[in-house]
Amino acid sequence: SYVLTQPPSVSVAPGQTARISCAGNSIGSKSVFWYQQRSGQAPVLVVSDDSDRPSGIPERLSGSKSGITATLTISRVEAGDEADYYCQVWDTSRDHVVFGGGTKLTVL
Amino acid sequence: QVHLQESGPGLVKPSETLSLTCNVSGESISSTSYHWGWIRQPPGKGLDWIGSIFYTGSTHYNPSLKSRVTISVDTSKNQFSLKLTSVTAADTAVYYCARDLYHSVHPAAFHIWGQGTMVTVSS
């Protein structure tokens, strides 16, 4: 089955830039979505179709894709950005949704 | 504003059937062309898609759960439901219902989520 690989954790100091990767075969042909999940809360969609932002999501959060890797970039990181982040695609070969394992972002 | 709310038993015995309902308010399931999905999250672990249903009743299921899952829709009550049979402790999780982002022929992404409901499988 299709696999999306994320680093378990990323740490960054306030004001710096955090980059969270999501690797998968043929990811270039798929739309990638990113979710933010703060502790004890439901996930929130923060990036759609690789790089679009749903209404209400700050411009500091952005998505990109190159080769077999999609990346969520969070600029000027704030304490409130501390959360788990998940990437997700629709796998057309097996007709199912696939989530990455998640990355815990720690703000130092 | 669209609101989703999960409901159902918080405790299910092993080998029995887990049944949850997602009540949708602020939007009619039957008048919109969205997929409606179920996602779960075991304690301390990541997100796991269970399946999605279109307002017509067409379904997509996670292949790993397909033999045990049924998702149905009741447009008259504006709700959709999940049944998971033969549960074990591994099915203990927070269960979320969610609405898709797009009007599409297949599920794409989850834009609007319920708050989630914890289901524990234990005797």
Q: How far apart are CA B121 and CA A12, in angstroms?
A: 38
Partners of B114 on chain A (C-beta within 8 Å) are: 42
Q: Got the DSSP string for A59-93?
A: TTEEEEEETTEEEEEE-S--GGG-EEEEEEEEETT
Half-sphere exposure of B35 (CA within 13 A, CB side): 25
Tokens of B89: 């402790």
Closest CB to A96 among B60, B109, B111: B60
Residue-level pLDDT at A1: 85
Query: Among residues A4, A43, A47, which one has the least CA distance to residue A22?
Result: A4
A vs B, Cβ pairs < 8 A, gives 61
Identify the closest residue of chain B to A33 by CA–CA distance: B109
Partners of A96 on chain B (C-beta within 8 Å) are: 49, 60-63
- How far B30 CA sits from the closest chain A CA (Å)? 23
Residue-level pLDDT at B113: 98
Residue A10 pLDDT > 90: yes
Closest CB to A97 among B107, B111, B114: B107
Tokens of A65: 């894709």
CA distances from B111 to A47, A68, B30, B73, B114 (A): 10, 25, 18, 19, 10
Identify the closest residue of chain A to B97 by CA–CA distance: A42
Q: What is the pLDDT of residues B28-64, one digit of tens each?
A: 998 878 999 999 999 999 999 999 999 889 999 999 9
Closest CB to A43 among B47, B60, B63: B47
- Does the CA dihedral A92-A96-A101-A107 come out positive or negative? positive
Q: How far apart are CA A27 and CA A91, in angstroms?
A: 10
Identify the closest residue of chain A to B47 by CA–CA distance: A99
Residue B103 pLDDT grade (very low, low, confident, very high; cuts 50, 70, 90): confident
pLDDT greater at residue A93 or residue A100:
A100
CB neighbourhood size of B122 (10 A): 9
Identify the closest residue of chain A to B104 by CA–CA distance: A90
Q: Is B41 helix (H, G, I), strand (E, B) or coil?
A: strand
Strand partners, B79: B23, B74
Residue A85 pLDDT > 90: yes
Q: CA angle, corner A36, sides to A31 and A41, nearest 5?
A: 135
Tokens of B32: 């919109």
Spatial contact of B123 and B89, defined as CB atoms under 8 Å apart? no
Residue-level pLDDT at B10: 95
Residue B11 pLDDT > 90: yes
- How far B10 CA sits from the closest chain A CA (Å)? 17
Q: Containing H/E element for B118?
A: strand B117-121
Q: Do the chains contact at B49 and A94, CB–CB below 8 Å?
A: no
Q: Do the chains contact at A42 and B116, CB–CB below 8 Å?
A: yes
- How far B69 CA sits from the closest chain A CA (Å)? 14
